[in-house]
Structure 1
Amino acid sequence: MGWRNKGTMVTIGGKVWLAVVAAASIGMSVPCSAGYTVGQAQATTPATAQSKPQSKKAPKTPPKSGTSSAGAGKASGSKTKGASGKARAGASGKTSGSKTTGKKGTASRKRHVVSRKPTAQTIRLTSAFKASELLRPMAQQLAATRSAAAYSGVEAYARQHPGEGAAAAYLALGHAAMLDHRYDDAVGSYRQANVSGTALDDYADCLGAQAAIQGGHGADAYGLLDRFAERHPESIFDASAPVLLANAHLQQNDPQGALKVLVPLVDSAQASHVDFRYALARAYQASGDTAHAASIYSRIYAGFPLSVEASQARTQLQAMNTPPTAAERKVHADQLFNAKRYAEAGEEYHSIERDGSGLSVADHDALLIYAAASDMRLKKISRREVEKLPDTKDDSAALKLYLLAELSRNENDQSAHDALIAQMVRDFPTSRWLEEALYSGGNMYLLKHDAQQATYHYALLVKLFPKSLYAPSAHWRAAWMNYRQHNYAEAARLMEEQIQMFGGGIEIPGALYWRGRIYEDEEKNFGQAANYYRALSGSYINSYYAGLARQRLNVLKTQTASVAPAAALSAVHVPVVPELTGELPENEPHLIKARLLANAALNEYIGPEIQASETSSEWGALAQAEIYASYGETTRAIQSMKHSGISFFSLPLDEVPTVYWKLLFPQPYWADLTASSRKNGLDPFLVASLIRQESEFNAGVVSHANAWGLMQLLPSVGKAAAKKQGIKHFDANMLLNPATNLQLGTLNLREVMDRFGGQAEYALAAYNAGDVPVRQWMEVGDYKDIAEFVESIPYSETREYVQAILRNREIYRALYAVQ
């Protein structure tokens, strides 16, 4: 079959846009998706480190304080297990920073947007915005609650504000009706929007067509979608409207009409999108050209395995008696596995094996082992079941050994685990499963504080798999283990190697800082230490370690002699200064439309509308966040800034307009936050930073671990704090009240701080991971300072949590200390 001996997995990720249209596709209809494609991928083998950046990121903390039973902010002193002891102990392997356009290593220039002169279009859009400005809070409430009162309020606004105000109101009503699956009502509202105004007529047409199709009246969509791009130039729906029109024809049993729409576009960019391909295949199938249809369905099934269309394509292939081949199904199952959809992947592996058509004995046996790997991820397989798996002679044999090694790890049988690793090294030295096993083994020993064994596993992984996505974190863990064992010469060598081999990785600030500390503390080369600290502060200026580096520079300032920078420093990435502006182009049509969309609560289209502007790279992040913040969506504003692609933590505060920083580090509920913080003797900026990390200021969030509100408190912790505060008849819903959550959360944080002598680093680690593991880490210590403790935290999530909060506290102080 050609799959068993492939040792490398390649995943090609599709383009994912910051704002993805959130509309459900029902039946054959396609939502107005602005032409963006999400999640295209291909695969040949399952679960390898070289293909899954997200895999084994941890060791994740035991349930985190704000979001889990183990956190000190929730249930202090409770027992926790680090990521179930799984392969989740090293640093994550992500790269720091994001790509941005701009100038390297130069101070940013003050950017001024060159605003267009008003045009007839922008004057019309601005007028529509002003006409509907008072609608925004009502429309947003309707989108959020869809209550009878909210519907009535927006309907009344439409009656009282004829023209563009009514048009925006009817769009809001149509959108809400769509969410409630009342498609006929939606069609009526969109029709009224078209009659009332023209500012958002492309939305009224496209969304109206979608509602008509989903309501089973595809013919009513023809007029709305015909010559769409000609009637609505520069609309974000120009690329997707033909697919919607084709689906309308297909719903009306008119495949020739669909082909007439789609075939002329087969060489366009839109033709590469899965929704276009699926509609085209359906059209060929319905017209009787099953060979052409089957070819397209097969490509969808293999090339877009995570899409809804892939499942639909398989159904159609079976209906035409041309089902996917075993090899195609195997590729599909591999990609499901890599996407962590283990149940679906396992079922597909089992299904291929059960069907058995054309399978050799070796193929059959390999599929059983792949299915077992899925069951292992779901914790649904026993040692006995793994041991009963067939013995093979190809790479699936390495997978079986990996599964046995993981079981031995879970059973705390280190001897058996190490013997299995040794067998894999001997028999399968290039297998991706050895790569997985070595990282998992290193993490296991890290959690057990066995530095020697952890170092062995991490170093061997880097040696055998230098291009692995695990390699940067494994290499850094090996360097750090040597540092902790006082093997300073080897640690220094590895840290320099880290900087040179894995530039841009998230481990680089730590490597720069600790190599500087070795120069300072062990080699007494204060000048070179200062070179490292300056390089760190210059390239990662807002990072946790940059702050520590500046502290060391202050200590060294009277001892430092100038020396030439070490060779490794030439590999340090110079930050890119983006071209950003604090001004917005007020006569930019897409910006005005985005604001108008917020008035109508068509929130999922705000991002795509802004991105449609050719100049949005300079102001789009600001515009999007400001729009979200304007109707109280603080959390979404933070998230849009985080995902903007701007490397904020590598840029000085004064090189990015202040308005960006204040949207990224906002001050909601500030009066209550400062009052509760000061009452409990806490730094308000530390509390704000903790809340930003825990809930992103979403006062109404309840986590999957049953942690509630701003400071993510478990109801049991909230109840205990409420009793101390004299609050009677406590109910968990009280934790969704910002003032109450802050009152109880700051009291709880104060108690955590007191249990750890007021040391913020210990307290934050306990808030995230629980008291018990933190005390264990403290006891195995002999840390020379608190920074060494933080870097030694074995749970990546907890370590990064502590560093992020302390880093962000300093940014809050820099922005608001005078205030």
Structure 2
Amino acid sequence: MKFGLTMWRMSAATVACCAALCCAADAAAQTRKKHTTAAKSSASHPPHAAASSHKSSAHAQPRSSHKAAPSRAAAHGKHYTKAPAVAATAESRRLSSAFTASSQLRPMAQQLAATRSAAAYSGVRSYAASHTGEASAAAYIALGHAAQLDHNYSDAQRAYAQAAASGDALDDYADYLGAQSALQAGHANDAIQILSGFTQKHPNSLFVPNVPTALANAYLANNDAADAIRVLSAVQGTPAANKVDFRSTLARANQMRGNTAEAARLYRGIYLGDPIAPEAQTARTQLQAMNVPLTAAESKQHADALYNAKQYTLAAQEYRALQKNDASLSQADRDALEIYAAVCDLRLKRLSHSDVSHLPVTGDDSAALKLYLDSELARNDNDFAQHDIIVSQLEQQYPHSRWLEEALYSGGNMYLVKGDMANAESNYERLVDRFPRSTYAPSSHWHAAWLSYRLRRFSDAARLMDEQIQRYPAGSEVPGALYWRARLYEDVEHNLGQAENYYQALSASYINSYYAMLGRQRLAVIQSQAQSVPPPAALAGIHPVEGYRLTADLPENDVHLIKARLLANASLNEYIRPELQLGDPNNEWSAFAEAQIYQSFGENTRALQAMKRAKIPFFSLPVSNVPMEYWQIVFPRPYWSQLTADAQEQGVDPYLVAALIRQESEFNPGAVSHANAYGLMQLIPSTGKAIAKRRGMRHFQTSMLLDPSTNLALGVEDLHNSIAKYGGQVEYALASYNAGDTPIRRWINMGGYKDIPEWVESIPYTETREYVQAIIRNREMYRAIYSGR
């Protein structure tokens, strides 16, 4: 057998993350905040093709069958859809009554789910005992859910049983979750009794597809493999049968019944096809127990899958175990596995030059991989000359190897961060020339275009920017390419008509993007002087989003909507979205409904996250085309009175503060990052303590940063200080807030920038560049939404 690296193609996202330059964070950055070390390391290199989500999501065309709402059309001059009318039914009235009856339970139930403290349990128990009917049932469901989370399955089973006896609005939840608890508690017969008639009793329940697997597991707990196979066989061929838990249960049933061949087939499929699922390790254990060995190719396939899932430690262990234990392998195979394991060590930052020097010498593509390892270590040592020598060897000896592709992208990122524009451009151009279909090609092509601009080779930049727009129309780089190509027409070619065409195309298709906002500023300057000219072919593929319809009018009698609201009262938050999607998975209002449920209780962070998950192209839709209720969730203003007072005191734009908080913590006052940053504005304790001392606050404690009032007061002052330190230039201050002072000073001192947008575009840390652009964009969105500007 011969292992080739063609068998081991890593995912693009994994490779890009792995190839990131691990820049040491500036000491000053640690006095501020910063999200996670992983985010910082990935920020050191430009985005790649995986960053093309803007255009793809922006041009999604969801189904729209709703009619316009005249009242909103009159208010905004636009047409909105209206949710289809749903007549009240006995079930909707029953659920509405249960929702009303249990409304006062919600704060206690949510606290119980979050903390599961003795006091929280006591409060919900008291509520359950002092109420009857649906209010009591919802409380018992909340108690059962919390007990399940605490692995107190017998208590959970009893609570769900009490819920089922008290009311029936959520009786399918009480039954299914109660059966799950019974099975976990070792009461298989109770679970069988509940689940055997579940589908007939609750035909429209969310849990119907899960019942066969749950019932089969209950039968298996009673050593009844025949009945387990019977219930599972009845749903073969349905979507439920594709789930890994279904296949694992069916494998166990076949194994118990003695059908080891079928069990082995199923286990092997799980182990190889779902390598990071919890069931995968069980599958491997059972294959070993049945004395069914995996082939060397299968073991390597699993290790490759672990690598692609960034499970580098496990992947290295499997590569080395296979190398050591499989006697069927040739020496070439063993050598290749040793080099594969070394790549895992590189990702884990535990590979040395000595380690690489002791790797075997091979004659296939693993030799290219070994050169790539050497190039990465030279990069880490800032040994640019040695890095370039090794990459040249790769180009000469392995011109088609994916490891050359990796090395060129890594080299481009390295030189970009170091400020060596010419060498960065060279690496990116060579990558695009040799690997035009690489997942790195859109990013590399854009960086080559931008670096040509920065090197003032304007004709090359113009050509490359038009190529960018035409070759990679779905890429996230297109708005920037449109803006800077327009700037070239305006500033260099003095063709104001074409500049106007590009600015208008940018504004029409990416209306709320950072670049469109810049483009409209330029349009205001040149429009009176521009003469109309036909747009060039490069703009032919740029189109505005059309046909997108949103509604803020919910079908109030929809049983799934009412049930979702009732689930929030009982703190079963994880079931809200699935319940809303149960009736019509293509409905256009479920994301808004979910967000509104959270917002109704002041859970602004959850509401914002729900709308983000919906992938609505907010930044490609005019503000007036989206209902105000959506904008109030996507750009919320909690703590607004306090925020504006602090901003006014410090002379800071309150919309800038809101935009920063949205980016930093999504308005979660309890947020604590991996980098030890706290609260709304993600302050490092040392920063908070220093400002508190200057303000005369005594007995400062880090926990005070989780208080919104304190965090805002200290955070707004910190932002003011940063802006003042950079002479009032907000973009510099924001970049410093994210990356620290030292790199910002270095980038400023590089000089040669025509204006601030050019400086922002030249920030070499992707995270920092996108951070600054996002906050400036968000500030303008807040202004547009709430002040009409």
- TM tier relative to shorter chain: over 0.9
1:44-80 per-residue CA deviation (whole Å, 9 max, x = no partner) reads 415353x64863596688659xxx96156359xxxx9
Return 5+ residue gaps in structure 1 as ranges: 7-43
Take 1:726 and 1:597, find their aligned partners in 2: how far apart are those partners? Answer: 46
Distance, in Å, in 2 between the alignment partners of 1:758 and 1:87 is 26
Change (3 A) 1:62 1:739: farther
Quote how far apart the aligned CAs of 1:306 are: 1.6
Percent identity over paired residues: 55
How many residues are matched? 773
CA RMSD of aligned residues (A): 2.2
**Structure 1 residues 173-192: aligned runs within 5 Å:** 173-192=143-162
Deviation by residue 1:98-128 (Cα, 9 ceiling, x = unmatched): 1341589x99732111221111111111111
Higher relative contact order (CA 8 A, sep 6+): 1
What SS class does the counterpart of residue 615 from structure 2 fall into?
coil
Q: Which residue in 1 is equivalent to 2:347?
A: 377
Give, as a single letter, the amino acid of the residue that structure 1 aligns with 2:104: L
Query: Which letter maps to 2:288?
Result: Q
Q: CA deviation at 1:326?
A: 1.6
Alpha-carbon offset, residue 577 of structure 1: 4.0
Would you say the 8 A contact 2:40–2:767 is kept in 1?
no
Contact 2:17/2:42 (CA < 8 Å) preserved in 1?
A: no
Query: How far apart are the structure 1 equivalents of 2:562 and 2:38?
Result: 51
What is the one-letter code of the residue matched to 2:159? S
1:763-790 Cα shifts (integer Å, max 9, x gaps): 0000000111001001112100000000
Instruction: Show the 5 A alignment for 1:562-577.
Output: 562-577=532-547
Q: Structure 2 CA distance, aligned partners of 1:150 and 1:5?
A: 55
Most deviating of 507-516 and 91-100: 91-100
Deviation at 1:197, TM superposition (A): 1.1
Whether the 8 Å contact between 1:461 and 1:474 is mirrored in structure 2 is yes
> What is aligned with 1:31?
none
311-320 or 625-634, larger mean C-alpha shift: 625-634
Residue number in structure 2 paired with 1:129 = 99
Determine whether 1:774 maps to 2:736.
Answer: no
Q: Which AA in structure 1 matches 2:45? A: R
Matched, 1:646 2:621: no
Matched with 2:45 is 88
Residues 71 and 524 of structure 1, relative CA distance in 2, 3 Å threshold: farther
Distance 1:61 1:411 in 2: 11
Q: How does 1:402-413 map to 2 (within 5 A)?
A: 402-413=372-383
Match of 2:776 in 1: 806
Given the alignment of the two structures, is residue 618 of structure 1 paired with residue 575 of structure 2, yes or no? no
- SS of the aligned residue for 1:144 comes to helix
Q: 1:742 aligns with which of 700, 705, 712?
A: 712
Three-state SS of the structure 2 residue aligned to 1:565 is: coil
1:387: how far off? 1.3
Superposed displacement of residue 3, structure 1:
3.6
TM-fit CA distance, 1:163: 0.9
Q: Which amino acid aligns with 1:529?
A: A
Q: TM-score, normalised by structure 2?
A: 0.95
Aligned to 2:459: 489
In the alignment, what sits opposite 1:15? none
Q: Where does 1:54-453 land on structure 2 (aligned, <5 Å)?
A: 55=17, 70=29, 73-74=32-33, 88-90=45-47, 93-95=50-52, 96-97=54-55, 98=57, 99-101=60-62, 109-453=79-423
User: Match of 2:714, as an amino acid?
Assistant: L
Report the CA distance shift for 1:253/1:737 in structure 2 as closer, same or farther (over 3 A).
same
Question: Does 2:693 align with 1:723?
Answer: yes
Task: Indicate yes or no: 2:5 matched with 1:45.
Answer: no
> CA offsets per residue over residues 509-531 of structure 1, 9 Å max, x none?
10000000000000000000000
2:250 & 2:665 partners in 1: Cα distance?
A: 44
Asked whether the equivalents of residues 739 and 768 of structure 2 are also in contact (C-alpha less than 8 Å), the reply is yes
Q: 2:475 aligns with which of 495, 505, 512?
A: 505
Change over 3 Å in CA distance of 1:561–1:53 after alignment to 2: farther
Structure 2 residue ranges without an equivalent (≥5): 69-76
Q: CA separation of 1:349/1:46 partners in 2, compared to 1, >3 Å: closer, same or farther?
A: farther
The whole-number CA distance in structure 1 between the counterparts of 2:19 and 2:606 is 25
Task: Sort the Cα spacing of 1:206 and 1:716 in 2 relative to 1 into closer, same or farther, 3 A.
Answer: same
**SS of corresponding position for 1:473:** helix
Alpha-carbon distance, 1:383 to partner: 0.6
Given the alignment of the two structures, is residue 733 of structure 1 paired with residue 703 of structure 2, yes or no?
A: yes
What's 1:4 paired with?
A: 4
1:578-727 mapped onto 2 (5 Å cutoff): 578-614=548-584, 617-727=587-697
- Give secondary structure in 1 for the equivalent of 2:636: coil
1:371 Cα deviation (Å)?
0.4
Supply the AA of the counterpart residue of 1:404. D
Instruction: Please give the secondary structure, in 2, of the residue aligned with 1:239.
Output: helix
1:437 Cα deviation from its structure 2 partner: 0.9
Distance 1:48-1:201 versus aligned 2 partners, 3 A rule: closer
User: Aligned partners of 1:168, 1:794: CA distance in 2, in Å?
Assistant: 53
Distance apart, 1:81 and its partner CA: 13
Q: Is the 8 A contact 2:49 2:475 kept in 1?
A: no
Q: Which residue is 2:530 aligned to? A: 560
One-letter amino acid of the structure 1 residue matched with residue 10 of structure 2: A
Q: Is the 8 A contact 1:61 1:798 kept in 2?
A: no
Determine the structure 2 residue equivalent to 1:26. Answer: none
Please give the per-residue CA displacement for 1:597-656, whole angstroms capped at 9, x wherever unaligned.
000000111111112121653101110101111223211111111111211101111111
Equivalent pair of 1:140/1:600 in contact (CA under 8 Å) = yes
Give the letter for the 2:579 counterpart.
Answer: E
Residues 781-796 of structure 1: matches in 2 within 5 Å? 781-796=751-766
- Distance apart, 1:5 and its partner CA: 4.3
My pick for the range that moved more, 219-228 or 731-740, is: 219-228
Q: Deviation of residue 353 (structure 1)?
A: 1.0
